[in-house]
Structure 1
Amino acid sequence: MKIRRFSAAAFAAALLIPGVAACNGDGTAGAGASGTPSASGSIAPSGSAGTGDAKQALLDSTNAIRDGNFRFTMSGAGSTAEGQVHEPSQSAAMRMTIGDPSSDLMMKLDLIHFKPDSWVKLELGGKAASSVPGVQKLNLGKYQHLDQTRIKGNRALGFDFDKIDPAGSAVLTQGITEVRQAGEGAYEGTVDVSKAAEAGSLDPAVITALGTQAQTVPFTAKVDGQGRLSELVLKLPAAGQSAAQDVKITYSDYGSAAAAQKPPADQVVEAPAEFYNLFN
């Protein structure tokens, strides 16, 4: 089979989340984009009644994300990501897996960002892994130090500490078109994801493939006891070549995430040209 390069868009499509994009923490890294909700101020009570109150509660639930100190997970399309963001130390980390050993191509990435540096440990597997150009220079079992000028703007590899949410939940909640409370701290409704192309959890190509369905994607959400977003699930319908699927995003450990750890010097090499060729 022909091995395609993992462009930022292709990576996001495979992950349906990180294009995971941006990620951080004790094993995560990400290159997503976060938005700033139009609402600000204290978090609304989870028990508010009307639709307007319910939407406001969800808009406000993303405020704590902007403090840049949390753990997160994302899953969808047979891929997973987990990590943490620690803005106080300007660090982040993320681990992600796309596919599994039975897939034509499986990829595992262990990304660490510690501004201004980034490192990634890459593992390629699956039946077609041997066909990847330069695979012997990629599966090194070590962290590869990344040239920032070569990953700038790459949603799969970079991380922007001015846009610290890998999933872009603030952007997604702004697109809510209908919402109702479904229990204590629980909500359900629909969201217009056509307005959320910047969200790291969705690939713009998938949004385009959804067509008019993108305007009424069902979702469920949960907030914790302090009104902070703890879970968001988008129920994407089938579109184009993609089957119907759930994209799940979770947040935890607000205010108590740890700084990322730089890899030991003896476990670091400079990323070869083959690495950048794979992602660009």
Structure 2
Amino acid sequence: MTVTVRRWSAAVFAATLLTPGLVACNANGTADPAASGSVTPTASGSAIAPSGNADAKQALLNSTNEIRKGNFRFTMAGAGSTAEGQVHEPSQSAQMKVTIGDPSSDLMMNLDLIHAKPDSWVKLDLGGKSASSIPGRQKLNLGKYQHLDQTRIKGNKALGFDFDKVDPAGSEVLTQGITEVRQTGEGTYAGTLDVSKAAEAGSVDQTLITALGPQAKSVPFTAKLDPQGRLSEMVLQIPAAGQTAAQDIKVTYSDYGNAAAAQKPSADQVVEAPQEFYNLFS
């Protein structure tokens, strides 16, 4: 048996696919005003009319400016997988903890990735029904941090980190692909975006875009900004397609300017990653 992880990125860990339609529905099947763009009451009870498309789009474009400074915490979730971590550009370091699948899956992975330029390490835990059948599993140094060869992980979205593109989710690229948006409340927005223009974003990949076909040009999303106008949440609404169930891809940001430097693993906890490890992600 051969188990290979292909085209995995920190946010999309499998092909997740969309359906058309912008108006969301709540549990009883009626239209959700926040998604449809109707007048929405604020917390104080007053009503806000949806803003114009241009103003709303500019607000979302501006909301990613702080991300470029590379000092924040983040979470991502989608396709039965989750990731959380921090980016600290001042120290040229980052850390991500990723879970792919669950114990009932054929293969479950927990990865603790640490990047401190110019080095990277990963601790790998395996589970799931087929974990014992992975070729070379006994050589994967489970429980240790494996030091990674940068020449072998360059361009690998699963293992590498580009300090020139510090956002694992690529929200700046996503907002640039917005095709329609309106303000639905205080700091809240809804609309559609063209993910075919966002292949470099970590929260989508080319496999997803190809599977969507024409629907890739009109993907429903919602977004929230914090009181300082910075992006705090973006949700891509992924309806069912083919054999893939409907789901959301959700990204959040917090602690702007207050993230901590990633801590390098101690020398006694580090081994060099073997060939079997790279085979798993080839």
Q: How many residues align?
A: 251
Alignment partner for residue 256 of structure 1, among 251, 254, 258? 258
Change (3 A) 1:242 1:202: same
**Deviation string for 1:13-70 (max 9, x for gaps)?**
52579xxxxxxxxxxxxxxxxxxxxxxxxxxxx9993110000000000000000000
Aligned residue number for residue 6 of structure 1: 5
Aligned equivalents of 1:48 and 1:63: distance in 2?
23
Is 1:97 the counterpart of 2:99? The answer is yes
> Which amino acid is the alignment partner of residue 258 of structure 1?
A
Whose Rg is larger?
2
TM-score if structure 1 supplies the norm length?
0.86
Aligned equivalents of 1:10 and 1:86: distance in 2?
20
Aligned residue number for residue 40 of structure 1: none
Identity %: 76
> Which amino acid is the alignment partner of residue 4 of structure 2?
R
> Which amino acid is the alignment partner of residue 238 of structure 1?
A
TM-score if structure 2 supplies the norm length?
0.85
Summarize the alignment of residues 79-228 of structure 1 with structure 2, pairs less than 5 Å apart. Answer: 79-228=81-230
SS at match of 2:67: helix
In structure 2, the gaps of 5 or more residues are: 17-47
> Which amino acid is the alignment partner of residue 87 of structure 1?
E
Aligned equivalents of 1:15 and 1:61: distance in 2?
28
> Which amino acid is the alignment partner of residue 154 of structure 1?
N
Aligned residue number for residue 73 of structure 1: 75
Alignment partner for residue 54 of structure 1, among 56, 69, 73? 56
Deviation at 1:143, TM superposition (A): 0.2
RMSD of aligned Cα (Å) = 1.9
**Deviation string for 1:156-210 (max 9, x for gaps)?**
1000100100000000001111111110000001111111111011121111111
Aligned equivalents of 2:262 and 2:94: distance in 1?
5
**Deviation string for 1:55-111 (max 9, x for gaps)?**
000000000000000000000010000000000000000000001111111001000
> Which amino acid is the alignment partner of residue 190 of structure 2?
E
**Would the aligned equivalents of 1:123 and 1:141 in 2 still touch at CA under 8 Å?**
yes
Aligned equivalents of 2:226 and 2:5: distance in 1?
36
**Would the aligned equivalents of 2:12 and 2:202 in 1 still touch at CA under 8 Å?**
no
Aligned equivalents of 2:267 and 2:197: distance in 1?
43
